[in-house]
Structure 1
Amino acid sequence: MKRKSVINTDFVSIYDKISPSLKAGEYTISIQQNVSWDQNDKKMDQVQNFFIDAPRFTLPADNLGIQHPIMEGQYEQTIPHLILSNPALPWARWPDDGVNDLPWLALLLVREDEWVGDGKPVTMSVKDTFDPGLYPDIEPPAINRGETEQNQSPCQSVVIKTGVLSQIFLLEHEVSWLANVRVSVPSSDQSAAVIISNRVPKVAGSLPQQKFYAYLVSLEGHTQCLRGTFPVKPFVRFIVLDHWKFTSYKSANKSFSALAGNLLEGMKADPWLRHAGHADPNAPEVIRQRLFDGYSPVLSHTKTGEETMAWMVGPGLAVTDPKSRPHVSYWNSSQLLQYDDKKGLFDVSWAVAYQFGKAAALANHKFAEHLCVLRRQYAAQFMSSQISSYPLKHKEQKDLWTKLEEGLESDWAFRVNDAMAGYREEEPQLRYHRKWRKERRTNKKDPYQAIREVINETGNDAKKITEYFHKLQTQEEWDVVSYLNQLQDLKHIAFPYLVPHHQLLPPESARLFRLDLSWMDSMLDGALSIGVHSDWDQAINGYIRSQLDYKVDNRLGLIIHSALISDYPDVKIRGYINSEEVMAVHVELQEQIKLILFEKEPLTITLTEPCEKQRFGFDVDDNGAFTIDLRSTNNTQVDQLGSRLSVPYFITDTDWRDKDLGVLDIGKLQEHLENELARIEGAGNWGSSTFALQLLDAPDYALLTLH
């Protein structure tokens, strides 16, 4: 199930709670009325029973919002929380005997060495879940059996060791501090409830990492546990309404700030996509120059069976494109091989791009089919329009058709067949065959010239062909242009073509590159080469390319290979020119590899940790101490960073109930924060919203400045 972000605005107001007018349960309305008259008095009483329902043993899927944290990371300073789309849900029921207006939901965090079994909740009927006779060693929630013994609906529950529960369970006076409500500002059409845990995912001892389960549990029937009195039975059962599992690392090398910091540190020596060997003074100059430009040495097999070394680069250059290929269309990849006769080496980059473009086009059956259909549409539309536009005699029309057909080479296949028949008789040498092919292509009439002659003879405008093309807004045209635009944005390109050698982008690295327009032209030529038989087809290809969303020449790319991508899949990577954000295309290449292609070269690039707008936890100073950036309580509307004060609060041992287990003493922490803020800005009204405001933790970010 995909979780939805309930609050989609950057500004929210935080409230203590939203209490429903009536909580779930049975209610009675009694009306008493006395009627008196001369002869008699009569009481006319009326009693009406009714029932208020609310979720109890399961929650609707659309009530469940974002969980944090998820997956893997350094979370020892993070307080887990869960967002619920129903803002009144935590207060819809009584958790105890109805004396205190407390939330009936809590977020319980259990470490893997504390689990019973694998820690995963089990699914049973409500009847069996609350039946003490089925599991004598497990204490079920103390709920009236009459409300559950006939209920066969499924629900999930988890069993926790009583000894563990006594160490990690929250107390009655702490429950109200751990739930609050967010409402969007300035409009109030979006709101959500937030449930915060009383524990951070601290890894035990010297272990590098541990798994944790976060359970959204019902407190109903656990009044005695909330008051510090635990059952004598070895296990206690809780109804689980939501749960998730994640991994917390002790070492800071898996935190967002550490991963992002390592990436930026690695870019200081050389941020560009190229081999480090270009700086080797002992290497020959020609090799160092190629490596500096971003090329990689690859093994190449020629068509004649020879094996040689060649140079290759993907669409990303480490330097500004030093030489662009002529903007002409090529018939095959061999024409794009570049040979250095002085060094005896091939540059296969453009040829590889052409071959990839052709393979990608053939692999997309829809594109290949629609490309051929589109060419026929263009040809038929233009030729029929030329013939039907002029009141010519029959012979003149026939001559017009002949001239157009010669220009468009509709009999090309027949002439090739005739020519090949002649070759079989003469048995020419291969070099003569190649010479013939070159002559045929060189001497063929330019289709545009033939069309111009026809138009000039009839006194028409030479721009008419473009006008007719523009009238064609077919599905085929849309599909063809759309796919080619995606190729221009480096989508659908296999990773080895983007990065030809693994040393260009080792693990935990990030590299910049400039887009090689010559490589891109070659790839598009390859994609458009399928089904090409004539110069007319090439002419139509030229028109198709004119319809693409060609980007500006200075497109800059950033490619990242890091656990940052897999551990923080929603990381925000943005480029800026001063304060203006640069448009960019984001491409997921592999689990840990992401490519960002900017429309123009930004001055700065930021990597911001995803946080679903707000999260809770502590900062860590250079000495490893946990701190809280205090926020003013005078500002009721806060953004995700809060309204910070200049004085941090340092977490002390007295703020922990059990520091080794990561269990906070919520009551004392709240008291200490309230006293500290009173000292700074005077006493204020404290509630769960004020407490949550202090625990807001801004997302980490990294800044890359380009020169």
Structure 2
Amino acid sequence: MPIEDISEKTQLIQCFTPSMVAGRYDVTVAQTITAAKPVDGKYLPPPGPVAQASLAFDIDAARFVLNPADIYSVYPPEGQGGYFSESLPHIVFSRRTLPWERTIDGKPPVFQRAPEEEPRGVPRDPIKSPPVPWMALLLFEETEAPALTSRKLAELITPGPGIIGPAIAGKENTTANGLQLMPWEDAADSCNCIDITAAQFLEYIPALSAAALLAHSKKVRIVHKDRNGIVDLDDQDTALFSTIVGNRLPGSNQMNTAVLVSLEGFQDYIATNKGGAALKTISPDQQIVRMAALASWSFHNSGDTSFTTLINDLSLKPLVIGNTNVDAVLSKYLDTGYTAIQHLTRAGASIASWYHGPLVPQLSYQPATAVSFSSSDAALRYDTTTGMMDISFAAAWQLGRMLGLERQGFAKAVQAWRIAVKQAQIRKNKSDTVSKLMGAYPGDTIREKVISYLDGNNTAVSTGETLPGIGAEMGIPGEVQDFLGQLFCLKGIPFKYLVPDEKYLEKESLAFFYVDANWMAALMDGALSIGRSNRSQLIIDQAMAGNFLPAAYDVQQKVQVQEEDFFVLNVTGFLLRSNLVSGWRGIEIAAYDNQDQLLPAFRFERIDEDIFLGIFNGNVARVVITQPYEGLHFGVKIDNGQWEKDLKSTDSKGDIVINNSMNVNDALKQLINTKRIIDVGGLSIAMQQHLAADIFTSAEFAFQMVDSPVRKTFTIKQA
């Protein structure tokens, strides 16, 4: 059956190795002089170097501790439960080179070594001699999960009798030729460690050839992603990630723990291929292996929850509190986006008042000229039906004022602009007065005109006229435009003002909304109140028209209601609250209008662990949610207790298809043991043989192992 072409959204890449891996390097530069002319017909032999200089330097990289920002996402989702029996755990890094920035023996990869360092018979080709990552992802069942313990580096590299640690020498060991602590690393520093049995080490740690297949990179389009945490950009629309995949499938109906461990210093105990012999064997008196734990998370493999079930069960609703236990009068308020909240008045009384934020379930109309308030109290409204105050616009006005005062650059700019406008107006009035004086009073000289003025021969001059054009030619300060543009996009607005009650956001729901133009105008009015001038209304009108946004958007439309002119904001959006957000970071969401045009986003981000906010220019007609491509699941299928894996190929049209007749099902019977550990090397060989592929790197292996992304479209019927 045909599947979506993954290459349209992502590219699977074998690896990105840094130019130089972490470690110590020596550079020697020598200058040699040779004879410029022959002597007796012969060139003299070089006299040898006459100048020589050496430089020793170190290259650092993550080693015993990872920066949390380096981890972009994990799967299965941390702390969640669901059906994960068919998927290998994986961890996605936000940097393309992270798994290869070190090597397990401290030496450069084979294809980066000098010819004299090249091992005999080993090709200097990254495809034929793939680099091995310095980390591996192990999976433990509930009854065998090791304790994560903080230890000093000294306890890791010199663990004591009966325990094997990584072969990393301390700084005091000046004769060490292998791995060693760097000058800035201290044996008293701490890191997380796990102790596992020698039997677990030999069984769970993948062979070097398998470890190379379990690490790859991805180039992913990020047009429809929250960009928070995405730091390794190839260009504006694509980012690069790296991934480490485990080799063990989760145990059913139990808690599973995944631990990312460092393989550095254990090169002598890990075989090159499964079934082969390592350089060293673990002696009977050393039955514990201590490893640096770089990351860990737990999940419960039970039930049938998955990305597919979550997205299929997602409910579509307007952003309202759905409370059926209220009468018809109160239900009318809830249906229009209101909720009752505690309101502390200036007199100190605590009362219940109505409030709605800028995100409302119905289209709102703004007067042709936005209402301006002298204070927040002036924006209060009294509801005669319920006897309660409506504080929505008063809260918006006061919030705008507080945010404006908080941003010093804006506050100073708007005050300076107000003063400049006032001064320009005074100068203009004076100039106008003088001009009228010269033209309106009789006399051939200035002296005669002044005498006429003092005699009161013409009293028609008005020196207090306000000129309507003042300030427009001066331009609105960039700081003011920038701040109001951010307010228009609802950036920096506390979430409590956007969604005042958790009941608005039901779990596993996609709630759609309009942006209330009157609430937004009150917000702008409050911000400008700290430096109000006769041009404030002009600024608000321009801000509401979208003139201060980074690009020219058609955000405002003029409509007529009962022969009166009103404006509506052409701005809508959604709030998604779901385990899809918390469990699948980088989830892709695209919004389209009725003409199937992609809508540009004013605000598009995950604002809480399980809440995603999207605000768009235009009316959202449908929302498409897609599983993140950088986090596609690795796995096999279970059918009647038997493991299955169909392979992908291309049809006559060049489309990627899953060929049910081409699989490695028979091989899987021998390649997955009773503890659900997959012989990755053997599986890759079986795949390569079935596909008759000349090249089969970790990129080709990943392409065959990943599942097709899940996608669903939600149609929104706006009022």
Of 243, 247, 258, which aligns to 1:199? Answer: 247
Partner in structure 2 of residue 554 of structure 1: 570
Query: In structure 1, how many angstroms separate the alpha carbons of the residues matched to 2:641 and 2:411?
Result: 59
In structure 1, what is the equivalent of residue 466 of structure 2? 451
Partners of 2:618 and 2:367 in 1: CA distance: 19
> Aligned to 1:529, what secondary structure does the other structure show?
helix
Choose from 673, 687, 693 the match for 2:696: 687
Contact 1:87 1:191 survives alignment (8 Å)? no
- Say if 2:377 and 2:394, in contact at 8 Å, map to a contact too: yes
- The question of whether the paired residues in 1 share the 8 Å contact of 2:397 and 2:527 is answered with yes
CA contact (8 A) 1:609 1:699 kept: yes
Identify the match of residue 109 of structure 1 among 137, 147, 152. Answer: 137
Instruction: Check the 8 A contact 2:627/2:711 in 1, yes or no.
Output: yes
Q: TM-score, normalised by structure 2?
A: 0.66
Instruction: Report the counterpart of residue 430 of structure 1 in structure 2.
Output: none
Indicate conservation of the 8 Å contact 1:586/1:597, yes or no: yes
1:276 aligns to 2:322 (yes or no): yes
* Distance in 2 between residues matched to 1:307 and 1:324, nearest whole Å: 32
1:581 matched to 2:581? The reply is: no
1:600 offset after TM fit, Å? Answer: 0.8
Kindly tell me: are residues 381 and 565 of structure 1, through their superposed partners in 2, closer, same or farther at Cα, counting changes over 3 Å?
A: farther
SS at match of 1:685: coil
After superposition, the C-alpha distances for 1:601-654 in whole angstroms (9 at most, x for unaligned) are 122212333343x7550276899987656322799xx9xxx9333438586793
Deviation at 1:377? 1.4
Counterpart check, 1:703 vs 2:703: no
CA distance in 1, matches of 2:600, 2:478: 23
Paired AA for residue 69 in structure 1: V
Root-mean-square deviation (CA, aligned residues, Å) is 5.3
Call closer, same or farther: CA 1:656–1:257 in 2, change over 3 Å: farther
Matching of residue 220 in structure 1 with residue 292 in structure 2 = no
Would you say 1:171 and 2:207 are equivalent positions? yes
Is 597-606 or 647-656 further displaced after alignment? 647-656
1:287-316 Cα shifts (integer Å, max 9, x gaps): 222222121133445566766543221112
Name the structure 2 match of 1:445: none
1:544 is aligned to: 539
Give the structure 2 partner of residue 415 of structure 1: none
Contact 1:217 1:238 in 2 (8 A): no
User: What whole-Å deviation, never above 9, does each CA across 1:124-153 have from its counterpart, x for those lacking one?
Assistant: 59xx93x79x54532655999964489553
User: Aligned partners of 2:11, 2:177: CA distance in 1, in Å?
Assistant: 40
Contact 1:85–1:191 under 8 Å retained in 2? no
TM-score norm. by structure 1 comes to: 0.67
Change (3 A) 1:97 1:516: same
Question: Match for 1:168: what amino acid?
Answer: Y
Q: 1:89 to 1:580 in 2, by over 3 A?
A: farther
Higher helix share: 1
**Residue 616 of structure 2 is aligned to residue 607 of structure 1:** no
1:333-386 CA-to-partner distances (Å, cap 9, x unmatched) read: 333333343543433322222232223333334433332222111221233245
Measure, in 1, the Cα distance between the counterparts of 2:149 and 2:650: 39
Give 2:282's aligned residue.
231
Residues 508 and 86 (structure 1 numbering): CA distance in 2 closer, same or farther, change over 3 Å? closer
CA distance in 1, matches of 2:208, 2:99: 23
> Following the alignment from structure 2 to structure 1, what is the Cα–Cα distance between the partners of residues 390 and 59?
69
8 Å contact 2:664–2:686 — kept in the other structure?
no
Structure 1 residue 528 corresponds to structure 2 residue 548: no
Taking a change above 3 Å as real, the CA distance of residues 329 and 541 of structure 1, as seen in their structure-2 partners, is same
Closer/same/farther in 2, CA of residues 596 and 19 from structure 1, 3 Å limit: closer
1:655-670 to 2 correspondence within 5 Å? Answer: 661-670=675-684
SS at match of 1:632: strand
Give the secondary structure class of the aligned counterpart of 1:335.
helix
Moved more, 603-612 or 73-82: 73-82
Percent of counterpart pairs with the same letter?
A: 19
1:46-68 Cα offsets, whole Å, 9 max, x none, are x99xx9x9999966999x97666
User: Does structure 1 retain, via aligned residues, the 8 Å contact 2:138–2:248?
Assistant: no
Indicate if the aligned counterparts of 1:556 and 1:599 stay in contact, CA closer than 8 A: yes
Residues in 1 aligned to 2:149 and 2:643: alpha-carbon distance in whole angstroms: 29
Quick check: 2:262–2:291 contact (8 Å CA) kept in 1? no
Counterpart code for 1:542: Q
Query: Residues 582 and 600 of structure 1 are in contact (CA less than 8 Å); yes or no, is this contact kept in structure 2?
Result: yes
Partner of 1:213, secondary structure, is: strand
Change (3 A) 1:481 1:13: closer
Residue matched to 2:389? 346
Asked if 2 retains the 8 angstrom alpha-carbon contact of 1:656 and 1:663, the reply is no
Equivalenced residues, count: 592
2:586 to 570, 574, 585: 570
- Alignment match, 1:33: none
Instruction: Tell whether the 8 Å contact from 2:671 to 2:682 is kept in structure 1 after alignment.
Output: no
Counterparts of 1:628 and 1:65, CA distance in 2 = 32
- The one-letter code sitting in structure 2 at the alignment partner of 1:572 is E
Match of 1:118 among 148, 155, 165: 148
Note the residue ranges of structure 2 that are not aligned, 5 or more in a row: 1-6, 27-44, 112-117, 124-128, 222-233, 439-445, 547-554, 557-568
CA contact (8 A) 1:216 1:243 kept: no
The alpha carbon displacement at 1:235 in A equals 4.3
Match of 1:330 in 2: 373
Rounded Cα–Cα distance in structure 2 between residues aligned with 1:19 and 1:327: 57
Q: Give the counterpart letter for 1:687 in structure 2.
A: F
Asked if 1:598 is matched to 2:616, the reply is: yes
Three-state SS of the structure 2 residue aligned to 1:493 is coil
Q: Match for 2:478: what amino acid?
A: W
Q: CA deviation at 1:596?
A: 1.3
Task: Give distance in 1, aligned partners of 2:267 and 2:347.
Answer: 80
**Among 345, 355, 361, which residue is 1:312 paired with?**
355
Q: Distance in 2 between matches of 1:317 and 1:386?
A: 46
Check 1:583–1:236 CA distance in 2 against 1; reply closer, same or farther (3 A cut).
same
CA displacement at 1:177 relative to structure 2: 4.1
Deviation digits for residues 478-530 of structure 1 (CA, Å, limit 9, x no counterpart): 22222222222122222222222221223443311111111112222222223
Q: How far apart, in 2, do the equivalents of 1:348 and 1:193 lie?
A: 47
Distance 1:300 1:165, change over 3 A: closer
In structure 2, what is the Cα distance between the partners aligned to 1:235 and 1:58?
30
- Residue number in structure 1 paired with 2:34: none
- 2:80 pairs with 1:80: no
User: Which piece of structure 1 moves more, 10-19 or 509-518?
Assistant: 10-19
Q: Give the deviation of 1:694 after TM superposition.
A: 0.9
Alignment partner, residue 496 of structure 2? 496
The question of whether the paired residues in 1 share the 8 Å contact of 2:195 and 2:291 is answered with no
* 8 A contact 1:200–1:663 mirrored in 2: yes
In structure 1, how many angstroms separate the alpha carbons of the residues matched to 2:327 and 2:240?
65
Counterpart residue number, 2:417? 374
* Cα 1:351–1:137 shift into 2, 3 Å: closer
**Offset of residue 318 of structure 1:** 1.3
Q: Does 1:644 align with 2:644?
A: no
* Cα distance, 1:664 vs structure 2: 0.7
CA distance 1:13–1:372, shift in 2 (3 Å): closer
After superposing the two structures, state which structure 1 stretch, 93-102 or 572-581, moved more: 93-102
| Aligned-partner Cα distance in 1 for 2:99–2:286 | 35
Q: Secondary structure at the match of 1:69?
A: strand
Q: Is the 8 Å Cα contact of residues 13 and 216 (structure 2) preserved in structure 1?
A: yes
Matched with 1:465 is: 470
Amino acid at match of 2:613: L
